Amino acid sequence: DGGITQSPKYLFRKEGQNVTLSCEQNLNHDAMYWYRQDPGQGLRLIYYSQIVNDFQKGDIAEGYSVSREKKESFPLTVTSAQKNPTAFYLCASSPRDGTDTQYFGPGTRLTVL
């Protein structure tokens, strides 16, 4: 089955710890995205990548980092510099670039205690 997977579904971390969220896709999509979703707000773009070994900051990149070493994988690290990391994190991909429809993974709910 082709799709986007994110793991884990739920993640708990202590304040001050870095944490890495996984996103994998086997759709052969070139572009991948990370969004954050908070109650009462629209999805906000954290980082995106249109090609391997290249990525750009989105609207709220501070306190986050990413890598794109493989086409299939786009992990997101939430660092201790992120002031309010508790949120629902969604990964998406699209076939080529921003001109294509984006398809979303199931999400990871991160809670920082």
Partner 1 sequence: GQNIDQPTEMTATEGAIVQINCTYQTSGFNGLFWYQQHAGEAPTFLSYNVLDGLEEKGRFSSFLSRSKGYSYLLLKELQMKDSASYLCAVRDLTGNYKLSFGAGTTVTVRA
Binding site for partner 1 (CB under 8 A): 4, 35, 40-45, 48, 56, 58, 88, 90, 97-99, 101-107, 109
- For residue 71, the minimal CB distance to partner 1 (Å) is 19
Sign of CA dihedral 112, 19, 5, 48: positive
Judged by CB, which is closer to partner 1: 69, or 100? 100
Residue type, 4: I
- For residue 11, the minimal CB distance to partner 1 (Å) is 14
Q: List the beta strands (DSSP E) in 8-84.
A: 10-13, 19-25, 31-37, 44-51, 54-57, 64-66, 76-78
Judged by CB, which is closer to partner 1: 73, or 80? 73
Taking 3-state DSSP, the helix, strand and coil percentages for the chain, each rounded to the nearest 5, stand at 0, 50, 50
Judged by CB, which is closer to partner 1: 75, or 104? 104
- For residue 72, the minimal CB distance to partner 1 (Å) is 18
